[in-house]
Amino acid sequence: MKALAAAGAVLFGLVLLLAAAAAGVLSLADLDGGDLPSQAAADDIPADYQQLYRAAAATCPGLPWTVLAAVGKEETDHGRNPDWTSDAGAQGPMQFLPATFAAYAVDADGGGPDINDPADAIFTAATYLCASGASGGRDIHGALFAYNPDDAYIARVLSTAEGYTDHTSDDNTGGAGDEVPQSSRAAAVAVDYAIAQLGLPYEWGGDGPAAGDIGFDCSGLTQAATQAAGVRLPRVAQDQYNAGPHLPPDAVLQPGDLLFFGASTTSISHVGIYIGGNQMIDAPNRNAPVRIEDYRWNDYRGATRPIHT
């Protein structure tokens, strides 16, 4: 199989990469272009797992190490979950079905590919995500869908990955070196609320099942999500946009930010809630349920951050 051949071809390089990192020849920044962990990542991810995620992601340019780490968090909490065999038969710290692991297996540490070995499992996960759309950052959402075809799972991974990313040195935050606060606990509550609504039908004027409606419209969803986080917003998209606070056009988006669309900033017709990875959750229209989709539309007009970080 082509994937097996590709994995074998890079095996020697992966072993050298891990050895160099362990020996201090490469810094963590060298492994993935300088994308350092946020404090949340440093606090949550064991040091050995963090190094593996970063080294493995470096073999697939375009795959953020934080996305790979967020998959590991979602699957077994970075190996902390002692039960590594799921009801579906998935095994190991990255929860592979044995047949899938065999097809993409990478022997990252030279001991033979082992589904239960963290190095092999993490490097294999990077290879699988890369082959599924992550290469060059082409389709991270599609790669995650191949890993687990569940929108709520993908939303949690993207939100976690955003929290693991350190934006403090980004140049597009109003000035090089300006600090960008990480998403707050309240923003995570809003995102989790939106995730829980995935699949509900669109309903014009709908405020969701808690209000006796079968579903949401766009601003009903964002109002309910922010209200779950303790923030009260007006009801319609234009008024929510006007309520601000508005982010600069080059600001780094954070999970929980509201994203607005329309003919102009005085004709806002749609709103969604950002979850990371260029994805938002929204109630799009009468023909589609609450779902995840890329926010980069032609009529995107800007973002607000009503949930302070």
| CATH T-level assignment (fold) for domain 2-164 | Lysozyme (1.10.530)
Residue 212: what pLDDT? 95
Residue 222 predicted with pLDDT over 70: yes
Query: Over the stretch 81-125, which tens digit does the pLDDT of each residue have?
Result: 877 788 889 999 999 999 999 999 999 988 899 999 999 999 999
In the chain, the percentage of residues whose pLDDT exceeds 70 is 83
Residue 144: what pLDDT? 96
Kindly indicate the confidence band of residue 23, based on its pLDDT and cuts at 50, 70 and 90: very low
Query: Over the stretch 236-281, which tens digit does the pLDDT of each residue have?
Result: 999 999 999 999 999 989 999 999 999 999 999 999 999 988 899 9
Residue 309: what pLDDT? 56
Residue 39: what pLDDT? 87
Kindly indicate the confidence band of residue 35, based on its pLDDT and cuts at 50, 70 and 90: low
Domain ranges of the chain: 2-164, 185-304
Residue 190 near residue 273 (C-beta atoms within 8 A)? yes
Query: Over the stretch 183-208, which tens digit does the pLDDT of each residue have?
Result: 578 998 999 999 999 999 999 999 99
Architecture of domain 185-304 in this structure: Alpha-Beta Complex (3.90)
pTM exceeds 0.85, yes or no: no
